[in-house]
Structure 1
């Protein structure tokens, strides 16, 4: 996939306290029209694993689970040029309107950035924008299936992502 690509609409409701922000969906996710659609991506296993649960098979059930947990999903980048799926190949990034999202969803209390690219892009475009003064910003390691020196397994990622647990609603699975 090359040329200009666009992220998905946010998955959010008025109860969401936590917004997980990726950079831009990978090629497989874009083809499927699903956040974290690559089955090798750790995101859904991490989100469910934080509560000791096993991911549902269907995408709709996964989205419903995220909503019940008070988790919203979106991307920092609204559109960009990128051949393939690697964040390093992103060019001409145009951000999503995150200040407007915060105005429309005042219950948001935390942005969890899924990887360095999403966090760096947010900082570049929004810096110290006062729209985010009541929002905690947490940079987390990517749930990408590509291993790093520090993030090789699901357990590594779960340990790092536990910092968002206080923002998750306690629900029955």
Structure 2
């Protein structure tokens, strides 16, 4: 009997999309970090700024339960997903993703199912790079507006939290997100 194939201990499976039928904006990461995969929740690392930003921008505050935060995002027309369905990575850093093992999610099917999505916001450079490499060449027809934002990861210390929040606020305003909290 042949030996079973070796499976890498670093092969990671992403999370399913979180999306309401009428979502207009899709926020894409590259692949969830270790804390997110263990929790089964997007942006679960306590130092990641995503949920504090969404709290300030659409009321999806980190003090709310995860389900309540997702409901607030959905009410604002914001969906969450990652570019990669699976990949090998040692640790949580995007720089450790082995692109030779990366498999993208099915975006053609996703955009067919959710045609109201008109804007894709990349949470950092790696998400944008992976999308351009693995997804964009396969897309047919009209594509959404694509825009890279500063990563909300604690590993991205080059940009201040204030500047990151301002960039996210402007991008959500440009995308026409409903219920955007405009006061600072």
TM-score of the aligned structures, taking structure 1 as reference length: 0.89
| Cα contact 1:78–1:96 (8 A) shared by 2 | yes
Given the alignment, which residue of 59, 65, 74 partners 1:58? 65
Q: Which residue of 1 aligns with 2:115?
A: 106
Paired residues for 1:77-88 under 5 Å: 77-88=84-95
Q: Which residue of 2 aligns with 1:23?
A: 30
Q: Which residue of 1 aligns with 2:154?
A: 145
Unaligned runs of at least 5 residues, structure 2: 1-8
- Other structure's SS at 2:140 match: helix
For 2:138 and 2:108, the matched residues in 1 are separated by: 8
Distance 1:142 1:132, change over 3 A: farther
Given the alignment, which residue of 36, 41, 60 partners 2:43? 36
Distance 1:170 1:27, change over 3 A: same
Q: Determine if the alignment matches structure 1 residue 119 to structure 2 residue 125.
A: no
| Cα contact 1:99–1:132 (8 A) shared by 2 | no
- 1:46, CA displacement in angstroms? 1.3
For 2:55 and 2:108, the matched residues in 1 are separated by: 28
TM-score of the aligned structures, taking structure 2 as reference length: 0.84
How many correspondences in the alignment? Answer: 170
Distance 1:171 1:161, change over 3 A: closer
For 2:90 and 2:60, the matched residues in 1 are separated by: 35
Larger radius of gyration: 2
- Other structure's SS at 2:80 match: strand
- Which structure is higher in RCO with an 8 Å CA cutoff and minimum separation 6? 1
- 1:3, CA displacement in angstroms? 1.5
Moved over 6 A (4+): none
| Cα contact 2:11–2:88 (8 A) shared by 1 | yes
Cα RMSD over matched residues? 2.1
| Cα contact 2:149–2:167 (8 A) shared by 1 | yes
Unaligned runs of at least 5 residues, structure 1: none
For 1:80 and 1:134, the matched residues in 2 are separated by: 25
